Structure 1
Amino acid sequence: MKLKQMPPIVYRLAIACWLGGASLFTFLLTPTLFKSFNRDVAGDIVGVLFPGYFLWGLACGVVALICLAGIKSRARTVSAIIIAVMLTISSVQAFVIEPKAAALKKEIPSFATTPTDHPSRVLFRKLHAISASGNLAVIGGGIALVVLL
Protein backbone atom coordinates (compact mmCIF):
# COMPACT_ATOMS: atom_id res chain seq x y z
CA MET A 1 0.00 0.00 0.00
CA LYS A 2 1.33 3.40 -0.94
CA LEU A 3 1.65 6.16 1.64
CA LYS A 4 -0.72 8.43 -0.31
CA GLN A 5 -3.46 5.78 0.08
CA MET A 6 -3.29 5.97 3.89
CA PRO A 7 -5.11 9.29 4.53
CA PRO A 8 -8.32 8.30 2.68
CA ILE A 9 -8.41 4.88 4.37
CA VAL A 10 -7.73 6.23 7.86
CA TYR A 11 -10.18 9.10 7.22
CA ARG A 12 -12.96 6.66 6.31
CA LEU A 13 -12.13 4.51 9.32
CA ALA A 14 -12.20 7.50 11.68
CA ILE A 15 -15.56 8.69 10.34
CA ALA A 16 -16.99 5.16 10.50
CA CYS A 17 -15.79 4.71 14.09
CA TRP A 18 -17.15 8.10 15.15
CA LEU A 19 -20.54 7.65 13.51
CA GLY A 20 -20.77 3.99 14.47
CA GLY A 21 -19.80 4.67 18.08
CA ALA A 22 -22.27 7.53 18.43
CA SER A 23 -25.06 5.50 16.84
CA LEU A 24 -24.34 2.42 18.92
CA PHE A 25 -24.22 4.43 22.16
CA THR A 26 -27.34 6.46 21.33
CA PHE A 27 -29.62 3.92 19.73
CA LEU A 28 -28.59 0.61 21.29
CA LEU A 29 -26.51 0.83 24.47
CA THR A 30 -28.30 3.63 26.32
CA PRO A 31 -31.86 2.42 25.61
CA THR A 32 -30.86 -1.13 26.59
CA LEU A 33 -29.42 0.08 29.88
CA PHE A 34 -32.54 2.08 30.71
CA LYS A 35 -34.77 -0.88 29.84
CA SER A 36 -32.65 -3.33 31.86
CA PHE A 37 -32.02 -1.32 35.02
CA ASN A 38 -33.87 1.22 37.11
CA ARG A 39 -33.36 4.83 36.10
CA ASP A 40 -30.80 5.62 38.80
CA VAL A 41 -28.58 2.60 38.07
CA ALA A 42 -28.80 3.08 34.30
CA GLY A 43 -28.01 6.78 34.71
CA ASP A 44 -24.99 5.95 36.85
CA ILE A 45 -23.67 3.50 34.24
CA VAL A 46 -24.17 5.96 31.39
CA GLY A 47 -22.56 8.68 33.53
CA VAL A 48 -19.45 6.53 33.91
CA LEU A 49 -19.32 5.90 30.15
CA PHE A 50 -19.88 9.49 28.99
CA PRO A 51 -16.34 10.85 29.43
CA GLY A 52 -14.86 8.03 27.36
CA TYR A 53 -17.64 8.31 24.80
CA PHE A 54 -16.96 12.00 24.23
CA LEU A 55 -13.19 11.52 24.13
CA TRP A 56 -13.67 8.74 21.56
CA GLY A 57 -15.59 11.16 19.33
CA LEU A 58 -12.99 13.86 19.77
CA ALA A 59 -10.15 11.46 18.93
CA CYS A 60 -11.95 10.19 15.82
CA GLY A 61 -12.71 13.74 14.72
CA VAL A 62 -9.14 14.96 15.14
CA VAL A 63 -7.80 11.96 13.22
CA ALA A 64 -10.35 12.53 10.45
CA LEU A 65 -9.50 16.22 10.20
CA ILE A 66 -5.77 15.53 10.02
CA CYS A 67 -6.28 12.87 7.33
CA LEU A 68 -8.61 15.14 5.39
CA ALA A 69 -5.73 17.58 4.91
CA GLY A 70 -3.98 14.91 2.82
CA ILE A 71 -6.97 14.07 0.64
CA LYS A 72 -7.69 15.71 -2.69
CA SER A 73 -11.45 16.00 -2.99
CA ARG A 74 -14.01 18.49 -4.21
CA ALA A 75 -15.89 18.00 -0.94
CA ARG A 76 -12.84 18.57 1.29
CA THR A 77 -13.82 22.07 2.42
CA VAL A 78 -17.41 21.10 3.18
CA SER A 79 -16.21 17.97 4.99
CA ALA A 80 -13.73 20.00 7.03
CA ILE A 81 -16.48 22.41 8.08
CA ILE A 82 -18.77 19.55 9.08
CA ILE A 83 -15.98 17.89 11.10
CA ALA A 84 -15.13 21.21 12.77
CA VAL A 85 -18.77 21.70 13.79
CA MET A 86 -18.97 18.11 15.04
CA LEU A 87 -15.75 18.60 17.05
CA THR A 88 -17.09 21.83 18.52
CA ILE A 89 -20.32 20.14 19.60
CA SER A 90 -18.43 17.18 21.05
CA SER A 91 -16.04 19.51 22.90
CA VAL A 92 -18.92 21.44 24.46
CA GLN A 93 -20.53 18.16 25.47
CA ALA A 94 -17.30 16.77 26.93
CA PHE A 95 -15.93 19.83 28.68
CA VAL A 96 -19.00 21.91 29.55
CA ILE A 97 -22.27 20.01 29.58
CA GLU A 98 -21.14 16.62 30.92
CA PRO A 99 -19.25 18.02 33.94
CA LYS A 100 -22.22 20.27 34.81
CA ALA A 101 -24.67 17.38 34.44
CA ALA A 102 -22.46 15.10 36.56
CA ALA A 103 -22.33 17.73 39.32
CA LEU A 104 -26.11 18.16 39.17
CA LYS A 105 -26.65 14.40 39.41
CA LYS A 106 -24.83 14.48 42.76
CA GLU A 107 -27.47 16.94 44.03
CA ILE A 108 -30.31 14.60 43.04
CA PRO A 109 -30.57 11.70 45.50
CA SER A 110 -32.77 9.67 43.14
CA PHE A 111 -34.50 10.41 39.87
CA ALA A 112 -37.26 8.03 40.98
CA THR A 113 -38.08 9.91 44.19
CA THR A 114 -36.96 13.50 43.54
CA PRO A 115 -39.85 15.60 42.20
CA THR A 116 -39.59 16.53 38.53
CA ASP A 117 -39.96 20.21 39.41
CA HIS A 118 -36.92 20.13 41.74
CA PRO A 119 -34.53 22.89 40.50
CA SER A 120 -31.64 20.45 39.99
CA ARG A 121 -33.82 18.11 37.95
CA VAL A 122 -35.14 20.99 35.85
CA LEU A 123 -31.61 22.15 35.05
CA PHE A 124 -30.44 18.57 34.47
CA ARG A 125 -33.30 18.03 32.01
CA LYS A 126 -32.28 21.18 30.10
CA LEU A 127 -28.64 20.08 29.93
CA HIS A 128 -29.72 16.60 28.84
CA ALA A 129 -31.87 18.06 26.06
CA ILE A 130 -29.00 20.21 24.82
CA SER A 131 -26.61 17.27 24.93
CA ALA A 132 -29.07 14.92 23.20
CA SER A 133 -29.64 17.49 20.44
CA GLY A 134 -25.89 17.88 20.04
CA ASN A 135 -25.48 14.13 19.87
CA LEU A 136 -28.07 13.87 17.11
CA ALA A 137 -26.34 16.71 15.27
CA VAL A 138 -23.03 14.82 15.47
CA ILE A 139 -24.72 11.69 14.11
CA GLY A 140 -26.30 13.77 11.33
CA GLY A 141 -22.91 15.27 10.52
CA GLY A 142 -21.40 11.80 10.40
CA ILE A 143 -24.09 10.65 7.99
CA ALA A 144 -23.41 13.71 5.81
CA LEU A 145 -19.70 12.87 5.81
CA VAL A 146 -20.41 9.30 4.72
CA VAL A 147 -22.59 10.63 1.88
CA LEU A 148 -19.79 13.01 0.84
CA LEU A 149 -17.34 10.12 0.62
Structure 2
Amino acid sequence: MQVVAAIYRLAISLWLGGAALFTFVLTPILFRSESRDVAGRIVGLFFPGYFRWGVACGLVAIICRVVMAGKGTVPAAVIIAVMLTLSSIQAFYIEPKAAEIKRHIPSFETTPKEDPMRRQFSKLHGISAVCNLSVIAGGVVLVILL
Protein backbone atom coordinates (compact mmCIF):
# COMPACT_ATOMS: atom_id res chain seq x y z
CA MET A 1 0.00 0.00 0.00
CA GLN A 2 2.97 2.32 0.58
CA VAL A 3 3.91 1.98 -3.09
CA VAL A 4 0.41 3.03 -4.16
CA ALA A 5 0.52 5.99 -1.77
CA ALA A 6 3.91 7.03 -3.18
CA ILE A 7 2.62 6.76 -6.76
CA TYR A 8 -0.43 8.82 -5.74
CA ARG A 9 1.73 11.59 -4.24
CA LEU A 10 3.99 11.50 -7.29
CA ALA A 11 1.05 11.78 -9.72
CA ILE A 12 -0.41 14.76 -7.83
CA SER A 13 3.00 16.42 -7.55
CA LEU A 14 3.82 15.95 -11.24
CA TRP A 15 0.37 17.19 -12.26
CA LEU A 16 0.50 20.28 -10.07
CA GLY A 17 4.18 20.95 -10.73
CA GLY A 18 3.78 20.59 -14.49
CA ALA A 19 0.77 22.89 -14.55
CA ALA A 20 2.44 25.50 -12.36
CA LEU A 21 5.70 25.41 -14.32
CA PHE A 22 3.94 25.70 -17.67
CA THR A 23 1.49 28.39 -16.51
CA PHE A 24 3.63 30.58 -14.28
CA VAL A 25 7.15 30.13 -15.67
CA LEU A 26 7.47 28.83 -19.23
CA THR A 27 4.53 30.58 -20.89
CA PRO A 28 5.31 34.04 -19.44
CA ILE A 29 8.98 33.70 -20.43
CA LEU A 30 8.00 32.79 -24.00
CA PHE A 31 5.57 35.69 -24.33
CA ARG A 32 8.14 38.14 -22.88
CA SER A 33 11.00 36.98 -25.09
CA GLU A 34 9.24 36.28 -28.40
CA SER A 35 6.63 38.01 -30.53
CA ARG A 36 3.05 37.12 -29.69
CA ASP A 37 2.69 35.03 -32.85
CA VAL A 38 5.92 33.08 -32.29
CA ALA A 39 5.20 32.51 -28.58
CA GLY A 40 1.63 31.47 -29.39
CA ARG A 41 2.86 29.01 -31.99
CA ILE A 42 5.38 27.47 -29.56
CA VAL A 43 2.87 27.21 -26.71
CA GLY A 44 0.33 25.78 -29.15
CA LEU A 45 2.75 22.98 -29.99
CA PHE A 46 2.97 22.02 -26.32
CA PHE A 47 -0.74 22.24 -25.45
CA PRO A 48 -1.88 18.80 -26.67
CA GLY A 49 0.84 17.05 -24.66
CA TYR A 50 0.41 19.35 -21.68
CA PHE A 51 -3.31 18.67 -21.37
CA ARG A 52 -2.93 14.93 -21.98
CA TRP A 53 -0.21 14.90 -19.29
CA GLY A 54 -2.80 16.26 -16.87
CA VAL A 55 -5.29 13.58 -17.90
CA ALA A 56 -2.67 10.84 -17.44
CA CYS A 57 -1.63 12.13 -14.01
CA GLY A 58 -5.29 12.44 -13.04
CA LEU A 59 -6.09 8.88 -14.06
CA VAL A 60 -3.14 7.53 -12.09
CA ALA A 61 -4.10 9.65 -9.07
CA ILE A 62 -7.76 8.65 -9.04
CA ILE A 63 -6.94 4.95 -9.43
CA CYS A 64 -4.43 5.16 -6.58
CA ARG A 65 -6.88 7.08 -4.40
CA VAL A 66 -9.56 4.42 -4.90
CA VAL A 67 -7.09 1.61 -4.17
CA MET A 68 -5.97 3.40 -1.00
CA ALA A 69 -9.61 3.80 0.15
CA GLY A 70 -9.59 5.15 3.66
CA LYS A 71 -9.69 8.38 5.57
CA GLY A 72 -9.88 11.35 3.22
CA THR A 73 -10.68 9.27 0.13
CA VAL A 74 -14.01 10.89 -0.77
CA PRO A 75 -12.94 14.57 -0.62
CA ALA A 76 -9.68 13.85 -2.45
CA ALA A 77 -11.43 11.67 -5.04
CA VAL A 78 -14.00 14.41 -5.70
CA ILE A 79 -11.25 17.02 -6.16
CA ILE A 80 -9.31 14.70 -8.47
CA ALA A 81 -12.47 13.91 -10.46
CA VAL A 82 -13.16 17.62 -10.97
CA MET A 83 -9.54 18.27 -11.94
CA LEU A 84 -9.59 15.28 -14.30
CA THR A 85 -12.83 16.46 -15.88
CA LEU A 86 -11.41 19.94 -16.44
CA SER A 87 -8.17 18.54 -17.90
CA SER A 88 -10.17 16.25 -20.18
CA ILE A 89 -12.32 19.13 -21.41
CA GLN A 90 -9.15 21.06 -22.17
CA ALA A 91 -7.44 18.11 -23.89
CA PHE A 92 -10.32 16.78 -25.95
CA TYR A 93 -12.56 19.79 -26.58
CA ILE A 94 -11.04 23.21 -25.95
CA GLU A 95 -7.52 22.64 -27.31
CA PRO A 96 -8.55 21.01 -30.62
CA LYS A 97 -11.26 23.62 -31.17
CA ALA A 98 -8.91 26.51 -30.31
CA ALA A 99 -6.20 25.07 -32.59
CA GLU A 100 -8.69 24.91 -35.46
CA ILE A 101 -9.84 28.48 -34.89
CA LYS A 102 -6.21 29.62 -34.61
CA ARG A 103 -5.51 28.26 -38.11
CA HIS A 104 -7.95 30.89 -39.45
CA ILE A 105 -6.17 33.78 -37.73
CA PRO A 106 -3.16 34.83 -39.81
CA SER A 107 -1.58 36.87 -37.00
CA PHE A 108 -2.59 37.85 -33.49
CA GLU A 109 -0.40 40.91 -33.87
CA THR A 110 -2.23 42.28 -36.92
CA THR A 111 -5.70 40.74 -36.74
CA PRO A 112 -8.09 43.12 -34.95
CA LYS A 113 -9.47 41.97 -31.59
CA GLU A 114 -12.97 42.43 -33.03
CA ASP A 115 -12.36 39.75 -35.69
CA PRO A 116 -14.98 36.97 -35.18
CA MET A 117 -12.36 34.19 -35.17
CA ARG A 118 -10.20 36.06 -32.72
CA ARG A 119 -13.19 36.63 -30.45
CA GLN A 120 -14.02 32.91 -30.54
CA PHE A 121 -10.41 32.08 -29.76
CA SER A 122 -10.32 34.57 -26.87
CA LYS A 123 -13.47 33.07 -25.40
CA LEU A 124 -12.01 29.54 -25.51
CA HIS A 125 -8.71 30.83 -24.14
CA GLY A 126 -10.54 32.40 -21.20
CA ILE A 127 -12.43 29.19 -20.45
CA SER A 128 -9.19 27.22 -20.70
CA ALA A 129 -7.41 29.63 -18.35
CA VAL A 130 -10.16 29.23 -15.74
CA CYS A 131 -9.98 25.43 -16.10
CA ASN A 132 -6.19 25.52 -15.79
CA LEU A 133 -6.18 27.72 -12.69
CA SER A 134 -8.89 25.52 -11.16
CA VAL A 135 -6.74 22.42 -11.75
CA ILE A 136 -3.80 24.18 -10.10
CA ALA A 137 -5.95 25.24 -7.13
CA GLY A 138 -7.25 21.68 -6.78
CA GLY A 139 -3.69 20.38 -6.89
CA VAL A 140 -2.66 22.76 -4.13
CA VAL A 141 -5.56 21.55 -1.97
CA LEU A 142 -4.58 17.92 -2.61
CA VAL A 143 -0.96 18.63 -1.63
CA ILE A 144 -2.18 20.26 1.58
CA LEU A 145 -4.35 17.19 2.26
CA LEU A 146 -1.32 14.91 1.83
TM range (shorter): over 0.9
Pairwise CA distance, 1:65: 0.8
Q: Please report the TM-score for the alignment, with normalisation by the length of structure 2.
A: 0.98
CA distance in 1, matches of 2:67, 2:131: 28
Aligned pairs for 1:1-149 (under 5 A) are 4-149=1-146
Task: For 1:69 and 1:133, locate their aligned partners in 2 and report how far apart those are by CA, in whole Å.
Answer: 27
Superposed CA RMSD in Å reads 0.7
Q: After TM superposition, give the deviation of residue 74 of structure 1 in Å.
A: 1.7
Letter in 2 for 1:10: I
Instruction: Return 5+ residue gaps in structure 1 as ranges.
Output: none
Q: Give CA-to-partner distance per residue, 1:80-107, whole Å, 9 cap, x none.
A: 0111000100011011110111011111
Task: Return 5+ residue gaps in structure 2 as ranges.
Answer: none
Deviating beyond 6 angstroms after TM superposition, the runs of 4 or more aligned structure 1 residues are: none
* Alpha-carbon shift at residue 147 of structure 1 (Å): 1.1
Aligned residue identity for 1:135: N
Question: How many angstroms does 1:72 deviate by?
Answer: 4.2
For 2:61 and 2:92, how far apart are their aligned partners in 1? Answer: 20
Identity of counterpart residues, as a percentage?
Answer: 61
Question: Post-superposition shift, 1:69?
Answer: 1.6
Which secondary structure state, in structure 2, belongs to the residue aligned with residue 89 of structure 1? helix
* Alignment CA distance shift 1:73-1:148 (3 Å): farther
Shift, 1:148, TM fit: 1.1
TM-score normalized by the length of structure 1 = 0.96
